[in-house]
Amino acid sequence: MRIRFPFLLALSIGFLVGFPATLESSFAQQDVSPHQQWKKSADLDELSCKQGYLLFLKTHGGYPMCVFPSTYLKLVDRGFGNYDRSIMDNRPEMMNVLMHTMVSHTGLMQHWHEMMQKNPLIMTQVTENWTSQIKNNPDLLKNVLGHLTSDPNLRLAMVDVMKSHSRMEVELKQNSEWMDSVHHPIVNPEFVDGERQSACDWCPEYKKHQNDESSIRFGNHDIMMDMMHEIWLDSELNHDLHSMMLQNPFHLRYMPEQLTNSMLNSVMDDEDLRLQMIDLLLQHRDFMNAIRHDSPETKH
């Protein structure tokens, strides 16, 4: 025992001294607040938060906190701190969570829409960016059309835009399947408890994209616009944000008519996308039923 005890004690001391990095990194995985982490190291790059939380640095006092994404936006809006690009640049997962949260907020997206509508150059750039992404990912066009064709009012507005697009009008008139479908009686209408049931099997599921955070209202217009503009200036973030917009029906639902029409016209200007759009619309029973009318000259 006289030999073993000093040996074990020395081994224990050697373990603690020899592996400080292991102990230091482990506290980040435990329930240790960033303020406590801050006391050990004032280097922001070494601070971490639980998954789903965002690192926020208060203006007054300067100490860091881990907060929910919705809380992060509230704090920025109220001037308790600023959107810190340097913090997010080193934490791409946090930036991704923040942008998803922003896209899901009606009030914040209104700032984004306002910025686009007031600047024709930005509107053009957004439309070109969206069209490019849609061309590379056909599911995005399906998502956009799913939103537009599922709302009776938007359907009619969409038809007007299509009629006013000369190339689309010619394309439709030359498409025998489209012309035949338009002059076909309403196809197999389905009713549930006296109400029409949508037959669209590729429309987005809007409810899963909604959350309580969407009800947040922002009071400081200039601060939120500055944050959106800073993201806009980063080409990589800008591209990612646009992709999230096209994937999120919650955002598409509140997209202004000016932007919707611009995007539709841009899609119809592209020959390949124009044909894809026609094929997708032909699959949407409610949309086709909305524009169908009987023709005595068409036999079925």
Is pLDDT larger for residue 149 or for residue 21?
149
Give the pLDDT confidence of 196-230 residue by residue, as tens digits.
Answer: 444 555 555 544 544 545 556 677 878 888 888 88
What pLDDT does 97 receive? Answer: 93
Cα angle 154, 160, 164 (rounded to 5 degrees) comes to 145
Q: Say yes or no to pLDDT of 273 above 90.
A: yes
Give the pLDDT confidence of 99-115 residue by residue, as tens digits.
Answer: 998 888 887 888 788 88
CA-to-CA dists, residue 215 to 107, 108, 113, 175, 254, angstroms: 8, 10, 18, 44, 13
Q: How many CB atoms lie within 10 A of CB 134?
A: 23
Confidence of residue 161 (pLDDT cuts 50, 70, 90): very high
Predicted TM-score of the model (pTM): 0.71
Confidence of residue 165 (pLDDT cuts 50, 70, 90): very high
- Highest mean pLDDT (candidates 10-19, 54-63, 116-125): 116-125
What pLDDT does 293 receive? Answer: 63
Cross-strand pairs, 55:
66
Whether the CB-CB separation of 118 and 232 falls below 8 Å is answered with: no
